[in-house]
A = this chain, B = another copy of it.
Amino acid sequence: MSHLDQVLAKIDADLEVSLNRLFRWLEVPSISTDPAYKDHCRAAGQWLAEELKNIGIDASLRETGGHPAVVAHAKGEGKLRALFYGHYDVQPVDPLDLWDRAPFEPSIITLPDGRKAISARGAADDKGQVLTFVEACRAWKAVTGSLPINITFLVEGAEEDGSKFLPEFIEANKDELKADVALVCDTNMWNQDTPQITSSLRGMVYEEVIVRCADRDLHSGQFGGAARNPIHVLSKIIAAIHDESGRITIKGFYDGVPETPPEVLEQWRGLGLGEAEFLGPIGLKHSAGETDRMLIEQVQSRPTCDVNGIIGGYTGEGTKTVIAAEARCKISFRLVGDQDPEKISANFQAFVRERIPADCSVEFIKHKGSRALALPHDFPALVAARSALRDEWDKDPIVIGSGGSIPVGGDFKRILGLDTLFAGFGLDDDRIHSPNEKYDLKSFHKGTRSWARILAALAE
């Protein structure tokens, strides 16, 4: 019996105790955004540090500007150094009356289709996922007394609060956190049976635009026809962002957008992600993106722009004949490849300014800017993880981009020069951030086994 087989057998045998450990962690209401739970956050971090120490890993709670971070170091057999990242904090639980069970009293539930799952706030996001990695390490330690590779743990306590102090912390501990690859377990599987590696993340530019015309709200009977209406101005700007073919018309917007290699496109085509499958569940039939791109490209490999909110004038019941003094919108761009957030922000602002009539004004509030991230398709850790996941799930993992943005990947790249492999076992129906969050038992069990295999594969 190989070491790996012994490790996997140990994981199977210990599932019950592993679950019990997870339950103890889930009982700690580590809500990072609510100051009332400050001590609970620290307690959740402390719990993890103790568990790591129990495995024989040198762990401590480290102060940041906010909730403390757990940092731990474990020497392994191989030369590779991995930085594992996760978070021990959880989302708030309100509205509490929509929960079927108390959010901090974890239990095993049976879903309507027979699946078993762990019900609790944080079960999937991210305590359950973090523990798949920790329990894999525990099994390796138990069987071999060591780990296949060197691992540094960085498990923070403020991810749900925007990881405000994390970049600063990484910067301050640059040398200590140095590694060859980052591993993050905070993403989803393709479906219940198919693992997924998220090999790219779109970047983001998020801006707020405020158009102001007259210095007060006006009566449209008195001024209508002569006074500039900021809602019209803003609508014209929004309308001009996309052309007829769905392309974004902002100058230089597509600079740095790579073409997906034909063989990858071929694999995507094979996934059969059609409009019916993807849009049907949300009540739509026709994709609205660039007309010359497959739907899967539209949502994963192409940059996009969406107005996320707009408001101006009278929005209550009934009527009011007002010409508003201002109108505002929030607008975000998802970036890919080498698109430069600074340049896109500047070009977008210029695009808007060009369309602001003579005596109106515009104000911008810049909320976010981050570059897209992408692993090369032949990145060694990616290749190793693919084969390990294939072994565990009997299915080739889907290697795919995520439409979303996970800022920590950008921090690792920028500060540590590190590429990140995102592998996680969440499912689309986990209801993270919502009432009745759950994490499939299968995700927890086979997730732990998957990490045991990935650690072995990374050592080769």
Find the B residue at minimum CB distance from A329: B231
Query: Are the C-beta atoms of B226 and A289 separated by less than 8 Å?
Result: yes
Once A239-B235, A298-B226 are accepted as A-B contacts, the answer to whether A286 and B358 lie under 8 Å apart by CB is yes
**Chain B CB within 8 A of A302 CB:** yes
Closest chain B residue, CB of each to CB of A201: B221
Q: Does chain B have a CB within 8 A of A96?
A: no
Among A3-11, A40-48, A276-284, the stretch that binds chain B is: A276-284
Q: Are B319 and A403 in contact (CB under 8 A)?
A: no
Interface-forming stretch among A72-80, A211-219, A346-354, A438-446? A211-219
Contacts of A329 in B (CB 8 A): 231
Among residues 261 to 309 in chain A, which have CB atoms less than 8 Å away from a CB atom of chain B? Answer: 278-279, 282-290, 295, 298-299, 302, 304, 306-309
> Which one of B219, B240, B298, B314 lies within 8 Å of A404 (CB-CB)?
B219
Tell me whether B225 and A289 are in contact (CB under 8 A).
Answer: yes
A121 within 8 Å of B (CB atoms)? no
Interface mask (A207-236 → B, CB under 8 Å = 1, otherwise 0): 000000111101111111111110110111
- Which residues from B are CB-within-8-Å of A32? none
Q: Is A315 an interface residue (CB 8 A)?
A: yes
Q: Which of A351-377 contact B (CB under 8 A)?
A: 357-359, 367-368
Complex contacts, A408 vs chain B, CB 8 Å: none
Chain B residues with Cβ below 8 Å from A357 are 286, 288
Q: How far is the CA of A238 from the CA of B242 in the complex (A)?
A: 15
- Does A225 lie within 8 Å of B403, measured CB to CB? yes
Which has the most chain B C-beta neighbours within 10 Å: A214, A223, A234, A295? A223
- How many copies of this chain sit in the oligomeric assembly? 2
Q: How far is the CB of A132 from chain B (nearest CB, A)?
A: 23
> In the complex, are the beta carbons of A306 and B226 less than 8 A apart?
no
Q: Is the pair B332, A321 in contact by a Cβ cutoff of 8 Å?
A: yes
A231–B226 CB distance below 8 A = no
Question: In the complex, what distance in Å separates the CA atom of A309 from the CA atom of B232?
Answer: 10
Whether A313 is near chain B, meaning CB under 8 Å from some CB there, is yes
In the complex, A398 has a CB within 8 A of chain B: no
Most buried by B among A231, A302, A312: A231
Q: Is the CB of A310 within 8 A of B315?
A: yes
Distance (Å) between the CB of A249 and the closest chain B CB?
13
- Cβ contacts under 8 Å, A367 to chain B: 318-319
Contact of A284 among B204, B304, B330, B359 (CB under 8 A): B359
- How far, in Å, is A276 (CB) from chain B's closest CB? 12
Shortest CB distance A197–B (Å): 17
**Is A415 positioned at the interface, with any CB of B under 8 Å from its CB?**
no
Could you tell me the distance in whole angstroms from the C-beta of A228 to the nearest C-beta in chain B? 4
Q: How far is the CA of A240 from the CA of B238 in the complex (A)?
A: 12
Contact A227 B279 (CB under 8 A): yes
In the assembled complex, which residues on chain B have CB atoms less than 8 Å from the CB atom of A215? 282-283
- Give the complex CA separation of A165 and B232 in angstroms: 35
Known A221-B403, A231-B329, A403-B222; judge A308-B284 contact (CB<8 A).
Answer: no
Asked if A405 is an interface residue, CB under 8 A from chain B, the answer is yes
Residue A81, interface by CB 8 Å: no
Cα–Cα distance between A348 and B219 once the two chains are bound (Å): 22
User: Would you mind naming 20 contact pairs between A and B with Cβ atoms under 8 Å apart?
Assistant: A206-B321, A219-B404, A220-B304, A221-B334, A225-B298, A225-B403, A226-B288, A226-B289, A227-B282, A227-B288, A235-B239, A285-B359, A308-B322, A309-B312, A309-B315, A309-B320, A311-B312, A311-B315, A313-B330, A321-B404
Q: A286-B357, A309-B312 are in contact. List 4 more A-B contacts (CB 8 A).
A: A228-B286, A284-B359, A311-B311, A321-B332
Chain A residues close to B by CB (< 8 Å): 202, 204, 206, 213-216, 218-229, 231-232, 234-236, 238-242, 278-279, 282-290, 295, 298-299, 302, 304, 306-315, 318-324, 327-330, 332, 334, 357-359, 367-368, 402-405
Closest 10 CB pairs of A and B: A221-B404, A215-B283, A309-B313, A239-B239, A225-B304, A235-B238, A309-B314, A225-B298, A228-B288, A235-B235
